[in-house]
Structures are given as structure tokens and as C-alpha cells.
């Protein structure tokens, strides 16, 4: 964890304590169960693979958010992958570099549409890795994200 993430983590902890206090532990456990379900519904399990240039993984049938996103950011094990070295490809479309996505040229996502994400980076070692994809929208809330924990496959 970096120092950059501490305010967010403390905010989540504060919100969890508030939910527990106001609605009880059962509500908090149910929220955690729903979050876990959504992670599994959004990420194609075991899709994290090595490529000749880095890694790739697939997100399917996104149930969280539909619409246009003006920015995407990908973190691998807490390190931001530069936008010019990250690409997203919606099903049936050409890949788009994150650096080419902005308010005038948003990335559009529709219900049931899968997308493959690719990152050019140094070889990723064995073991479990944490991927965090942030999608920046003009809508409220402006930032949605998903964190995935998986082991990389492939040569």
C-alpha cells in the first residue's frame, strides 16, 4: 500500500464503522458479499495472461456502470501503468490507448459488452497480483473502480 491510498482506505474504514453502527454487522457483511459477487461477475476468472509485451485480462458483462468514460487508469500491484502503455478493446472494436481517451473521445461501455485490457510492462512474476482499473466518468459518482486478485498464466 502506498501513502497515496491511505486517505481512501481510512474513508472506507470510517464508512464501514458507520454502517455497522447504524445498521448492524449483518448489513456490512451483506455489502461485502455483494461486492465480492460483483467482482466475480465483472472479471473473467483466470484471464490474466502474459503477452509478448506485458499482461492482458478480460472483463465481461459489466454490471456496475454503463456509459462513457473520459479516463481509464490501470494499476498493477499498486503501480500506475502509463496511459500510453495501456489499451482497452471492446468486443468487436479496435484497441484504444488509455492516452487517447478523454472527454471529447470517451470510451463507451454497454451492458453485456466484454473488454480486453492490455498493459505493456516488465515481466510480471509468479504469484498473486492485484489489478486495479479506475474508470472516470462525468456522472456521479465520478470514479468507479474494480480490484482483481489473480495469478498470471502463460509462458
Read off the pLDDT of residues 73-108 as tens digits, 9 standing for 90 and up: 999 999 999 999 999 998 888 999 999 999 899 988
The answer on 124 and 75 residing in a single domain is yes
What is the extent of the structural domain holding 81? 45-151
The CATH number of the domain holding residue 66 is 2.60.40
CA 118 to chain CA mean position, Å: 12
Q: Give the pLDDT score at 142.
A: 75
Q: Give the pLDDT score at 91.
A: 82
| pLDDT above 70 (res 12) | no
| Number of domains within the chain | 2
Put simply, whether the predicted model's pTM sits higher than 0.75 gets the answer: no
Amino acid at each position: 500500500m502506498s501513502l497515496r491510498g491511505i486517505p481512501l482506505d481510512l474513508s472506507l474504514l470510517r464508512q464501514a464503522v458507520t454502517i455497522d453502527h447504524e445498521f448492524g454487522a449483518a448489513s456490512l457483511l451483506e455489502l461485502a458479499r455483494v461486492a465480492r459477487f460483483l467482482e466475480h461477475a465483472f472479471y473473467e476468472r483466470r484471464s490474466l495472461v502474459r503477452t509478448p509485451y506485458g499482461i492482458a485480462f478480460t472483463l465481461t458483462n459489466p454490471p456496475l456502470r454503463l456509459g462513457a468514460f473520459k479516463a481509464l487508469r490501470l494499476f498493477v500491484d499498486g503501480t500506475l501503468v502509463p496511459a500510453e502503455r495501456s489499451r482497452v478493446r471492446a468486443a468487436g472494436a479496435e484497441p484504444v490507448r488509455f492516452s487517447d481517451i478523454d472527454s471529447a473521445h470517451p470510451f463507451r461501455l454497454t451492458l453485456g459488452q466484454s473488454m480486453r485490457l492490455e498493459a505493456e510492462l516488465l515481466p510480471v512474476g509468479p504469484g498473486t497480483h492485484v489489478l486495479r482499473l479506475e474508470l472516470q466518468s462525468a456522472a456521479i459518482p465520478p470514479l468507479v473502480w474494480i480490484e482483481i486478485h489473480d495469478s498470471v498464466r502463460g509462458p
